[in-house]
Chain A
Amino acid sequence: MNATTSTRTRGALGSSALRPDGIPKVQGRFAFSSDAWADSMLWGATLRSPHPHARIVSIDVSGALAINGVSAVITAKDVPGQLTYGLIASDQPVFASEVVRYAGEPVAAVAADHPETARRALDAIRVDYEVLPPLVDAEDAISGSFTPIHPDGNVIRRQRIIRGDQSFVGDVVVEGYYDVGMQDQAFLGLEAALALPDDAGGGVELFVATQWLHEDQKQIAACLGLPIEKVRLTLGGVGGAFGGREDISLQVHCCLLALTTGRPIKMQYGREESFFGHIHRHPARIFMRHHADRDGTLRRVEARIVLDGGAYASTSSAVLINAVTHMQGPYKCEMATVDGYAVRSNNPPCGAMRGFGVVQACFAHESQMDKLAAACGLDPVDIRLKNAMRTGDRLITGQVMDSVAPVERCIRETAALPLPEPLPADPDPLLIPGGAGLTARRGNITRGIGWGVSIKNLMYSEGFDDYATARCRLANGVATLQFATAEVGQGFVVLAQQIARTVLGVDTVLLEPISTAIGSAGSTSASRQTWMSGGAVDGACRLVRERLFEHVAATHHVDPLRLVIDGTDVVDSMGTLRVTVAEASHGLAFDETFEHHHRETEELDENGQGNCHVAFAFVAHRAVVDVDTELGLVKVVQVATAQDVGRVLNPLAALGQVEGGIAQGLGLAVMEEIVLENGRMRNPSFTDYLLPTALDAPDVVVSMIEEPEPQAPLGAKGIGEPPCISVTPAIVAAIRQATGKELSRVPVRPLDIVFG
């Protein structure tokens, strides 16, 4: 499709087409899954363990059942099918039965006529616990000093990467320990679902906010002991996900209560319960040692990375693979010795979050690059340019980088973006560190600049075929699309419309409900839906267009290969025929379904070698911060970024991903952390789990680097994750420059700056 054609259709690819859910969301009319409602529905609620580790001696539900208005109380013994679920290993109980492994683990659920009745019912359930010592230190899981807390053992996965000379020592060697705290996805739309039992009573229909309907369907059906077709899912309105909805939360509980009571069941978490109801970003401890030539050429990386996976496996093994395979960063490096562990503990379970293991790796490798620059007498930009990876380079896994890899261009274009104005003599007090607290004046503030650059894999890895399905129907000039792609806020609904408008020359594109009525789209994760579901929608639309052209060609006696779409017309590129798509499809219906698969990948071998990833994207960040060094308070003034996006399909949506990702990375840099004390969360609320406000958010200046990716169906790379990855180390580097402190952990707290 050439550019002149696509610009003629309103809302085609390349335009900032408005998303169909945008105005309803702003006006408060959009139905989130928590707005779902059914006549005669009951309210479900979950009883959770107060202990991080305990044996369940007994559960007495009789007190709850005696309460007027309580219809059902279910525990592990009421689970009819598989007792456990999980994305990779099925190791997490629907309800804990013999032992609880984290504070907040579900033990029972109730259905009642009112949320308050349900809450009282939970209070009336008596669980007798024998409290056990919790395993809360990841090193204790590795050392074997702690009795296994789960039949699968305390190490979820270990993966090494061994490449090149294992005894090589560089002219210049720098090393350090780095720590990353536990971050929460903190999506605003809380977990919620509505389950409707079949009229026949055998199956269930679930409206739920999730990231992958078909994976939920598979896990729910297994736990319910039902054939898969008896469990039908429709996406409820999703208010953000960021990885936190990949795992099962309330799905099985809600369906099981519906089947038990024969009534519709609504379940929704409040903010506090949400912190216990979903997985978090893995806390990490990383040791890294870089070896370089005297001129700063990176030769070898050594790393040991330990991810605390918490009580259950979730996606820990895949997060670990991402962490170890990205330890070199976006730099050429021929030798590597990496040892990675994902371990089990009695801390809250951890799993997918935007950046998926690469966030942790990037904080370490970028901190190291600055140390290396200092040791070699180079500045942070020069060391990164000198080592920038290029297409054709071999990674530490042996895989050849065959994605477009404009690392050097990302760095140079970021460096070319304007720096912010110096702080004026009498600045607006709200815009300096401390903000509304009025703690500082101009003279208390030091400015710093820091850099971060990252590489991120796209799509699922290690042999997984995470294909996507889409269907397109064209009738009377109106296209209707169907897919199971979870719209979690990223804007796939508008992208799908843009694709159909561009390929088919239509204005009106209707969307069927997002449900399991069509084949899987894979997860809305791993920056993959523009590529995968975009490819599927594009493929389905192209099939329909072929059928349309064949029809027009037969009707008008021209060669179908000469036909093209021009605006909203079908035209003969070598003749005079011009007919509108509406006219050409009048009274007809073309209906095609397409599956998009990415190329095959491989598992890593024991030395961490193998073509495990599909493709990669790159980004550079430059952060400017003002620091009140005496109080340790920070204001991130500006973040400049140049991102390798392949192609911009919707400029407004792309900018939204970049700005939002930067805010999330800023959160990890300076404030967002779930504080744990002996396995218990100290701050499960938005009062104390701090997210950046408008006064914390920086100015963002962006350069989109458009070098179309040949492998990608639309030339566009995934853009969701890269914005949040290297911005964190860039901000920390800027704080280091302003303060001279080492700052080896994120988030950087005021006390780290003052006493560090």
Chain B
Amino acid sequence: MTVVNATSLQQALEALRDHPGARLVQGGTDLMVEVNFNRTTLHDVVALRRVNELKRWHIVEDSQTIHLGAGVPYAEMERSPLCHHLPALAQAARTVGSPQIRAAGSLGGNLGTCSPAGDGLPVLSALDATVHLQSLDASRDLSIHEFMLGVKKNARQPNEVIVAVTLPILDGFQGYAKVGTRNAMVISAASACVVHDAIGGTVRVALGAVAPTVVRTREAEAWLASQTNLTAPLTVSPELAREFGRRAAAECSPIDDHRSTAAYRRHAIAVLVERLLLRANDHGKSPQ
């Protein structure tokens, strides 16, 4: 077993070439659990934690997007200034594990593991994020929707490192909500992200932990666009929000497991989406 503690992206990529099939480890908050439970036997490992290039982020002024390194810890997403640009991502980051986990974990791990319960993934989906992948001789960009393939399956090739995601800076409401059986530090039973692009005139919804992969509720989104003008400000009635939640829930395919039941998960999605849309409706308006 070889462990390469890479200190640069170049070094990490070379290590992947030299040790085909090596596992990448970023914060270790997923992988080490697998190892400790004896579900994974590690052979070669390339550790990315000291690769500083992956821990940086910046605003791309031309395109009004944020380039967010795959190793930026959740703890940083929770804080200013990132939380102002990407409020739903900040809310999702706050729900990840404990402070210790949030200091180590990052979107690179969420994307690499690609669990439907990954807390950051619904936000990336709702924001139509772009995932940047790098190998020794090439780089490629994939839409988040092309990147996530199924339960713990993604489009990363064994010689690639997930280096960053690009997310738009939008004008309008962004919210995330997650249901678990504890008020903190809990794996999602169901989660939802609602993004209102007030300029583009769209409301986008992505759901976590209720299907083999994160679900974008495109039919519900289209239905909502047909019902009301989505250019700011929103005017959504409670009845419309309820129906939107119901339609969004119809697009998920949850299961029964030891954390919850399919029926509860579907119900929770309807409630979360309804509430998030009502929050979007209240956004920027002074309370009466």
Contact = CB atoms under 8 A, between A and B. Distances in A.
Interface residues of A, number: 39
A433 B178 CA distance: 12
Given A631-B268, A631-B271, A683-B258, A436 B183 contact: yes
Contacts of A143: none
Contact of B275 (A444, A695, A696): A444
A688 interface: yes
B222 interface: no
A686 B261 CA distance: 20
A751 B263 CA distance: 9
A527 B277 CA distance: 52
Interface string A655-686: 00000000000000011000101000011010
A690 B182 contact: yes
A437 B177 contact: yes
Contacts of B182: 435, 671, 690, 692-693, 695-696
Given A444-B275, A630-B271, A755-B263, A437 B187 contact: no
Nearest to B278: A441
Contact of A439 (B94, B178, B187, B260): B178
Contact of A441 (B38, B258, B264, B275): B275
Contact of A695 (B37, B176, B184): B184
A750 B38 CA distance: 32
Contacts of B186: 437, 690
B33 interface: yes
Contacts of A119: 38
B184 A436 contact: yes
Interface in B204-228: none
A633 interface: yes
A693 B99 CA distance: 12
- Determine which residue in A436, A675, A683 has the highest number of CB atoms from chain B within 10 A of its CB, and name it: A436
Contacts of B260: 750-751
Nearest to B91: A438
Interface in A173-205: none
A495 B189 CA distance: 45
Contacts, number: 97
B179 A434 contact: yes
B185 interface: yes
B183 A434 contact: yes
Interface string A677-719: 1000011010110101111100000000000000000000000
A439 B177 contact: yes
Given A439-B275, A441-B275, A751-B264, A682 B183 contact: no
A632 B190 CA distance: 13
Nearest to A749: B181
A270 interface: yes
Contacts of A670: 181
A474 to B, nearest CB: 48
A588 interface: no
Contacts of A272: 37
Which of B94, B178, B180 has most chain A Cβ within 10 Å?
B180
B106 interface: no
B267 to A, nearest CB: 6
B95 interface: yes
Contacts of B259: 688
A635 B182 CA distance: 9
Interface string B233-276: 00000000000000000000000011111011001100110010
B258 A633 contact: no
Interface in A222-253: none
Contacts of B33: 687
B183 A695 contact: yes
Leading 3 A-B pairs by shortest Cβ distance: A435-B183, A682-B258, A437-B178
12 contacts: A434-B179, A436-B183, A436-B185, A437-B178, A438-B177, A631-B272, A633-B179, A633-B183, A635-B183, A682-B257, A749-B181, A754-B264
Interface of B: 33, 36-38, 91, 94-95, 175-187, 189, 191, 257-261, 263-264, 267-268, 271-272, 275, 279
Given A683-B258, A751-B263, 13 more contacts: A437-B180, A438-B175, A441-B279, A630-B271, A677-B258, A687-B187, A688-B259, A693-B183, A693-B184, A750-B260, A750-B264, A754-B264, A755-B267
